[in-house]
Amino acid sequence: MRQNESSLTSLIAAFGRAYHSKYDTPKIFDDFIAKDLISQKEFSDISENMIQGIQFFNKDVAQRFQDDPDEILKWITQVQLSPIPLARAAYCEKVLLNEVVLGLKQYVILGAGLDTFCFRHPELNSSLDIFEIDYPATQELKKKRLDVANYKIPSNLHFVSMDFTNNLAYPNLIDKGFANKKTFFSLLGVSYYLTKEEISTLMNNLFALVPSGSSIVFDYADEKLFEEKGRSNRVENMVKMASASGEPMKSCFTYYEIENMLEETGLLIYDHLSPATINDLFFRNRMDYLSAFETIHYIHAIKK
């Protein structure tokens, strides 16, 4: 991801979470703070751009709802934009909060963007240190938005600026108070944009200085990523959009490739969610357009 584009990426992700919190029922993942980090003008501009782009996503939908822009926005958001980030955030935070019950004291968010976990869980301010890692430009943007929205940064939230996909600088983390103790990592929406070698190197670096019992939740694309069209061509559209934005998707894995890579890093898969399982857990019996995204899986892996 290019640094001058990172803020836009995090903004679009926050838009999807804010839209879901405001309009969708029932909630898969209620990020009720996301809307506070986006101005009304930004929300309107993103909405309008999505509506204007409906011909790219689906010409039949464009024709069917040509006089109903709100339904077009709902369709784009629920079919294309929101399913992956909503379900993976819900899963990741479920695992994280369970780890907290088991005594976790340290949480590292890789590619944090406009993440709001810290502000949605103030009850953890005195018991859980949170380290958000991202590009400097993205973090400065977030700090400004928090200030405008009158959110005070608590003492347990630490911003660590770095391109962790290129060079994970542990000294930078340690300078912010990171310690050699049981750690939970989240790596969401990142693996697709790295090569297999880069992901393997990152995993090795992440777990080099943390003890047994430390773990990670991440999402990955399976071996059908570049051939599966998906519902309303949304998988194909996702790949095309990534390429057009200058940030092409680079990797996909079979389950056994993931398993072997993690084994070489000293990690065991504790939990694996396939698209079918994700759909059953988070999207069952919905009456709207939301459904689990094809080809995307979630993993919870633990250091032996």
Q: What is the pLDDT of residue 167?
A: 86
What CATH code would you report for 83-303? 3.40.50.150
Q: What is the pLDDT of residues 80-96, one digit of tens each?
A: 999 999 999 999 999 99
The answer, yes or no, to whether residue 15 has pLDDT greater than 70, is: yes
Rounded CA separation 34/53 (Å): 23
pTM value is 0.95
Task: Name the nearest CA neighbour of 133 among 115, 120, 121, 150.
Answer: 115
Residues 27-71: pLDDT tens digits?
A: 999 999 999 999 999 999 999 999 999 999 999 999 999 999 999
- Written as six digits, the tokens of 11 are 């903004």
All structural domains of the chain with their residue ranges? 83-303
Q: What is the pLDDT of residues 248-263, one digit of tens each?
A: 999 999 999 999 999 9
Average pLDDT over residues 155-163: 96
Does residue 3 have a pLDDT over 50? no
Strand residue runs (E) in 65-151:
106-110, 129-134
Q: What is the mean pLDDT of the chain?
A: 95
26-61 burial, b at 16+ Cβ within 10 Å, e below that, comes to eebbebebbbbbbeeeebeebbeebbeebeebbeeb
Token digits of residue 194? 């790295």
Q: How confident is the model over 86-130, as pLDDT tens digits?
A: 999 999 999 999 999 999 999 999 999 999 999 999 999 999 999
> Is-contact 132 110, C-beta < 8 A?
no
φ/ψ (deg, to 5) at 240 = -65, -45
Give me the pLDDT at residue 9, please: 79
Reduce the DSSP state of residue 211 to 3 states and report it: coil
